[in-house]
Chain A
Amino acid sequence: MQIICLSRGTLSGGKQLAERLANKLGYACLSREDLIEAAIHEGIQVGKLETAMLKPGLFNDRLALEREHYVAFTTSYLCDRAKKESLVYHGRTGHLLLPGVSHVLRVRAVADSDYRVKAAMQQLGVDRAKAQRYVEDVDEDRRRWAHNLYGVSVEDVTQYDLVVNLGQLSIENAAAALTVIAQLPDFQMTPASRKVMDNLQLAANVRLSLCRDERTRRSSFRVRADNEIVTVTYLPREAQAAKAIQDVVASLQGIREVRATMASTNLLWIQEEFKPQSNVFGQVVEIATKWNAAVELIRLNSDGGATVEPAEAESSPEMPPAVRDASAPAYNGGIEDDVDETDMEDDGGLKIALDELARLGRSGGGRRVFGGQEQLLNVIDRTASYSLVVIGDVFLDKGHAAQTRLSRELQGLLCDHIRAPVVTTDELKTQYLFTKRDALRLLGFLSLTFVIYYFVFTHQYSILRFLTGNDWKDRIVAAGAVVVLIPIVAYLYGNVAKAFLKLIKME
């Protein structure tokens, strides 16, 4: 089965392209409007959600739950349809519902402003100025929707496999080109990509069940699924509702185990090999315990490039005869390696690490990512609240210098896209754990603070006289002294408080 997700700009001809493409390939065609109708039927207040997305001030706990319900429902619906038949989906950001699913062909249909304004004038029967404003307003609404719901910019071309300019290319030619590209091995379902989709669907179904049950529908949960193990993370204030989780999901198929983790925040750890006996593992767990955080693991396997040759590729029986040319040599897209079953079983210690975290009550779920930085970025949930991102040993197949450089690049990339501190394992200990250096700093800052307070309170009269000078020059000096002293005291004492809380593991 194959999925083509077409993100259409306002009045860019994307809908016509999707329908033509589906017709050529013999695939089903699903639109955002169909999805919304199903969501409304489910009881989700899509209209309110759309309005709130455009006006952040309206967003409250209730609408945050509505958003979770919406994302869970649409993910489940799309996965369900995609498993039954090959599909062309056209909407705004459907591909963002399927992060990390490599057999999704992600297309963006655009057209220049003039093309779209003319389309608006024709469709709406308005003059040019009104049509222009309409196109700009709708563009702005869609941009905000993608930004507020998924934390991405819909115009960021790096999230698409292909961008088609329908102002320059006819719908027929664009559909023909996409038909050929859709046949490439890169976009065929593999066991690995199927597994990723199964995990997404399972997580979505669990979340959906929690949204539908009376006991849990008013609580916020974060759900991850990997290999039939479901991890549900919740805030301390949802502890009462969380007692019902096991009961609520008992009737769902395909669940081997449910792990519920109470956590105030999340920690994301990206590494190639996980070893629960290692020092780094201990340090991460220590920080997670201090902060009451759930630890989410991502195994980044950058070995062998971004795509794989499917071991048992599923071919589409509906493929039009013109595309299938038996005499031509099989085109493998330049792909070198297969991911066979043994590779898939070698999870780099991910399962053992997750089991250990679950044992400690810190599990936030985990998954595998094959590929490089871009694939990793596509998989990370930009709307999740991470307090820290840790980059461990990655790019292990490279030399030391290249490994260091690539790790730093990855760190920079993640800093740009995720609103959380991003550190390497070397920086982890020095910045987040109490070391001898912190002890010296604590003593030093405490001494300086004590000196300042002692001086001020043993010379109160002189200092207050100085601060209330009669001459304008004296008053300027006094004002300057206040403005210099205050930040110094705040800095010194603030660091004392911070270091002390770090010492007693309460920061």
Chain B
Amino acid sequence: MNYLIPNFIELDLASALQIVLLGFIGGVLSGFIGSGGAFFMTPGMMNLGIPGVVAVGSNIAHKFGKAMMGSRRHGELGNVDKKLGAYLILASFVGIRFAVWINGLLFKSGGGGSHGEGGGDSASNLYISAVFVCVLSLVAISMLRDALKSREENGGGPSMKIANYLARIHLPPYVSFPVADVRVSLWILMAVGLATGYLAGTIGVGGFIGVPAMIYVFGVPTAVAAGTELYLAMFMGAFGAINYAYQGYVDIRLTLLLYLGSLAGVYVGVYGTKVVREVMIRIVTGSVILLCVVSRGIAVPVYLRQLQWISFDQKWDKYLNQGSKVMLFIAGIAGTLLILHNVIRGYRQRRRIQSQILRVQEAT
């Protein structure tokens, strides 16, 4: 990969279009499952040869703007508990700061090359990939397990063991949140905020901890959890963008290209939720995330080799990188096509019903 200036790749039309496509797929998945789509966009950008820390920084800046637009709508519907958001924001800022510090430190410590080539960022790429694989594999497996259990038992919900355990622990002081209609221990609030901020700052993904934690641990209604998470994402995105931009890791071009795709893709994804059953949404989401995790896992040996922790022929780097990229795009495109298929099928069904109504009118 050629660099325009250190850390920032040269963008030709092909790579620019790939980033727009990444944004579109990320947007569709984001609208469909309610997360930010970073679980797809961050590794996708890394597959294109963008250093991991720049991918995270650019994505978190993109998240800021997108969340700002989305939270306005949720706010109009009364789905944002600003008090809850404020508590989580404070803790998440600490988490983000910590994540930016670690990422920056690892990036500057150098070691190996970026994504198969000589020069700099293998340590941070490896760290980001490791966190990505560990956290998102847990998310994907638990999502798939719960979805398959729901299907078999025809109604089983997600496991409540952790939530029930935390509910039994008495950890004052407690804080009441009137909009969300819950009372939560301050310590648990801080822990969730820290974890959300740390993950958002490390891999750009915060919603997979934040939203389930609000629903299953705090007991917040789903709509309020989603709205509050968007509100939180707006501030986390802003703070993350400031921190990464200060370090010089935000590529504004990537952020703008992601917007071209994502803001349109979100509408398609949201429509998809109307035509697909909840269980299927969870199965598709879990499968796509799992494939993204596998794709990232395939790239890990390259970073290990660059850091000289393992050794194998360098020519294998190209195949591993290509394999990772192909797998990621297969995951994203397959998920998007499945959603588009259901959206188009739903649209055609509507048209068919409307035609039938017109035919009946003409006949009478």
Contacts and interface: CB of A to CB of B under 8 A. Distances in A.
Contacts of A453: 256
Q: Is the interface of B mostly helix, strand, loop or mixed?
A: helix
A236 B245 CA distance: 45
Interface stretch (B118-126, B155-163, B318-326, B328-336): B155-163
B277 interface: yes
Given A361-B353, A485-B252, A490-B69, A60 B278 contact: yes
B357 interface: yes
B346 interface: yes
Nearest to B259: A493
A235 interface: yes
B105 interface: no
Interface stretch (B106-114, B134-142, B217-225, B304-312): B217-225
A24 interface: no
Interface string B1-32: 00011111001000000000000000000000
B298 interface: no
A490 B259 contact: yes
Given A419-B77, A453-B256, A491 B69 contact: yes
Contact of B155 (A57, A63, A465, A506): A63
Interface in B227-256: 238, 241-243, 245-248, 250-253, 255-256
A66 B154 CA distance: 12
B338 to A, nearest CB: 14
A147 B181 contact: yes
A476 B271 CA distance: 40
B349 A262 contact: yes
Contact of B346 (A236, A486, A487): A236
A214 to B, nearest CB: 13
Contacts of A486: 61-62, 64-65, 241, 255
Interface string A330-364: 00000000000000000000000000000111000
A227 to B, nearest CB: 21
A62 B155 contact: yes
Contact of B248 (A57, A460, A475): A475
A325 interface: no
Nearest to A494: B69
Nearest to A143: B181
Contacts of A66: 155
Contact of B7 (A421, A468, A506, A507): A468
Contacts of B7: 468
B349 A236 contact: yes
A359 B357 contact: yes
Contact of A237 (B4, B68, B69, B276): B276
Contact of A490 (B4, B65, B246, B251): B65
Interface string B166-204: 000000000000000100000000000000000000000
Nearest to A66: B155
Interface in A463-507: 463-465, 467-469, 475-476, 478-483, 485-487, 489-491, 493-494, 497, 501, 506-507
A61 B250 CA distance: 41
B256 A489 contact: yes
In this complex, which of A62, A265, A421, A491 has the most chain B Cβ atoms within 10 angstroms of its Cβ?
A62
A487 B242 CA distance: 13
A55 interface: yes
A476 B248 CA distance: 10
A283 B348 CA distance: 23
Contacts of B69: 490-491, 494
Contacts of A419: 77-79, 223
A478 B245 contact: yes
Nearest to B154: A62
B77 A467 contact: no
Interface of B: 4-8, 11, 61-62, 64-66, 68-69, 76-79, 150, 154-155, 157-158, 160, 163, 181, 215-216, 219-223, 238, 241-243, 245-248, 250-253, 255-256, 259-260, 263-264, 267, 271, 274-279, 346, 349-350, 353-354, 357, 361
